[in-house]
Each structure stands twice: as structure tokens, then as C-alpha cells.
Amino acid sequence: MVESTKADVKNAANDKLKSMTDSASSTKSSALDKVNAAKEKATSAKDAMKDKATSAKDAVKEKASALKRKKATENNQPSMKDKATEKN
């Protein structure tokens, strides 16, 4: 009877250890999933910000180019004074 009680205690301890190990493994897995999800979200946000910055930079470059073209066109246009002189 003592032997069966020792075996029962040993089996109960092993079962409890296995249960605790499984629980810890599950908790670890869940935590890793959350960390990976957070990393993906951060990477996605970073990429979105990078795309927005690039778009804004391109828009500024385009506006600057348009202003340069406009300025060059205006500089090539004869002034009102020049036009009046040509008529005389």
C-alpha cells in the first residue's frame, strides 16, 4: 500500500509538472505571437509613414518644378514696356 501511495504521489507530481510545463509553453507561445503582431504593425506603420514622406517630397519637387517653369516662362515674355516700345 505504501508503494502504491508513493507511485500515486509520483504520478500526481509528474502530471502537475506536465500541466505547468504545458501552461508555460502556451503562455510563451501566446506572448511571442503578440510580440510578432506588434512588430508587424510597427513595420507597417513605418512603411506607411515612409510612403507618405516620399509622396510629400515628390509633391514639393513637382510644385518647385512648376514654379521654375512658370518663372522661366515669365522671364521669356516681353514686359508691357517692351511691347509698347516695339509698337512705336
Distance (Å, rounded) from C-alpha 55 to C-alpha 44?
16
Q: Does the pTM exceed 0.75?
A: no
pLDDT tens digits for range 14-51:
999 999 999 999 999 999 999 999 999 999 999 999 99
* pLDDT recorded at residue 41: 97
Distance (Å, rounded) from C-alpha 8 to C-alpha 13?
8
Q: Say whether pLDDT at 70 is over 90.
A: no
Which cell numbers in the block locate residue 4? 502504491
